[in-house]
Amino acid sequence: MKKNIGAADRIIRTIIALIIVVLYLMNVLQGTLGIVLMVVAGILVLTSLFSFCPLYAILGISTAPKK
């Protein structure tokens, strides 16, 4: 897997995931929507950790710095 996520993108994804988790834990997000957004938050965290986004790869997008 070639890295295609830059530092700023990783930080933004992590912040969005943390906001979703906090809203879920505060019972602002509930039910099916809450569960779906928690899955999205998990995906955002995983893509941040691996610096690879499959959707970016399909679309040919890369926010990673060029070598």
Could you tell me the two tokens for 42? Answer: 């998990």
d(CA 49, CA 10): 8
pTM above threshold 0.85: yes
Dihedral through CA 59, CA 11, CA 32, CA 53, nearest 10? 20
Residues of the chain with pLDDT under 50: none
Alpha-carbon torsion (37, 28, 13, 18), positive or negative: negative
d(CA 29, CA 9): 24
pLDDT of residue 5: 95
